[in-house]
Structure 1
Amino acid sequence: MARLRAGDRRLARWAIAWGPPWVRRTAPAVEEAAEHTKLWWAAAGVMAAVGGWRGRMAAAAGVTSMAVAQVLSNAVAKKLYGRRRPPQEWVPAEELQDRPDSSSFPSGHTAAAFAFAGAIAPVWPAAGAACGFSALTVAAERVHSGAHYPSDVAAGGVIGLAAAALVRAALRLLWRRVL
């Protein structure tokens, strides 16, 4: 376990320090879009507005899965496992201003992103692919900004995909009961 933890720390330190100037310029916009799940709410609104029945179903599944993932990650897992964020010395001073105070493990932003993308992909694969790419971008930004260790975003991704699967299974079960 100590070797995994050390590797996680090394990878985080490398990811925080890595990047050409365009990455540093782009990362704040990605973080802002993901903050308070704004990106996913906007995507749900667009899908519901222009996607017809499939768009409305995808949006509903995405928002429901995102809510479940937020509860599991932020209200349950963060309370059970209090982990400090990567050391401030690793993070450029200009990126320390919006640093969260909550537990680092797991990444709630990543959980929401993966839940949303994972839930809409079976309903609308093209939209799922676009949101999946965005979810990966959010996950990478969370490590690059120094807000999380790689294992935090990996756990957030697993929680998000599990939430999407849970919501999908619950909807199938409900649908069988109705018919």
Structure 2
Amino acid sequence: MRVLTDLRDDDHRLARWVASWRSDCARRALPAVEEAAQHTKLWWGAAGVLYATGPRGRRAAAAGLASMAVAEVVSNGVLKHMWHRRRPPKEWISHEEVHDRPDSSSFPSGHTSAGVAFSAAVAAVWPWAGAVCAVPAAMVAAERVHTGAHYPSDVVAGAAIGLTAAAFVHRALHRAIRLLR
């Protein structure tokens, strides 16, 4: 039980530290990336760009969108309804973004699961493009803690869901291709 208490305390300390970042770059860049990621707009846009690059891009876009859909169902459709966790206290956030937090459960981070699922699935098809997509995915994850929408453990759980969704879709696509041959 002591280990869980220590983990929770570390999670809270890290959340307060990230929320207290005073960097102008963080204050400008993170909200812009998060706004683009609202309702998965960023990942749909990235899929459109990938699609336009040719057959490899179309495969990467399809894998990314399928993985994102799986991650969204698991994180937002199932887990958020199973576990209710309050958002970090508003007093921990020393900037104006504290009022833009959702009312749903904090666990897990759906934004993170979608971004990681999309990026990891794209990387499995086209590593360079996946690496490019991973940059805004990491920024979205940091922003979710910086604005007090999530604890770091919510973001870690979201990333794990995203990676699992990408692996599941990758495996399912390979099986489907083998069956079609």
- TM-score class normalised by the smaller sequence: over 0.9
Indicate whether 1:24 and 2:15 are aligned: no
In structure 2, distance between residues paired with 1:170 and 1:140: 30
1:98, CA displacement in angstroms? 1.9
| 1:102 counterpart residue number | 104
Q: Matches of 1:152 and 1:93 in 2, distance apart?
A: 21
* Partner AA of 1:47 in structure 2: L
Report the equivalent of 2:142. 140
Pairwise CA distance, 1:94: 1.7
Give the Cα separation in 2 of the matches to 1:93 and 1:139: 18
Letter in 1 for 2:59: M
SS of the residue aligned with 1:121?
A: helix
Matched, 1:9 2:12: yes
Q: 2:88 aligns with which of 86, 89, 103?
A: 86
The correspondence for 1:41, drawn from 38, 44, 52, is: 44
8 Å Cα contact 2:30/2:139 also seen in 1 = no
Percent identical: 62
Residue of structure 2 equivalent to 1:67:
69
> Which residue does the alignment assign to 1:175?
177
Separation in 2, partners of 1:59, 1:25? 28
Q: CA deviation at 1:176?
A: 1.3
Verify the 8 A CA contact 2:124 2:170 in the aligned structure 1: no
3-state DSSP of counterpart to 2:125: coil
Q: Deviations over 1:134-154 (max 9, x none)?
A: 111111111111100000000
CA contact (8 A) 1:112 1:160 kept: yes
Distance 1:151 1:65 in 2: 21
RMSD of Structure 2 on Structure 1 (CA)? 1.0
Which deviations, in whole Å up to 9, do the C-alpha atoms of 1:8-28 show, x marking residues without a partner?
A: 000000100023122112222
SS at match of 1:147: coil
Partner amino acid for 1:142? R
| Paired residue secondary structure (1:122) | helix
Structure 1 CA distance, aligned partners of 2:77 and 2:41?
19
Asked whether the equivalents of residues 67 and 165 of structure 2 are also in contact (C-alpha less than 8 Å), the reply is yes
Distance in 1 (CA, whole Å) between partners of 2:30 and 2:124 is: 29
Once the two structures are TM-superposed, the CA of residue 96 in structure 1 deviates from its matched residue by 2.6
Report the Cα distance in structure 2 between the residues aligned to 1:23 and 1:120, rounded to whole angstroms.
Answer: 26
Q: Gaps spanning 5+ residues in structure 2: where?
A: none
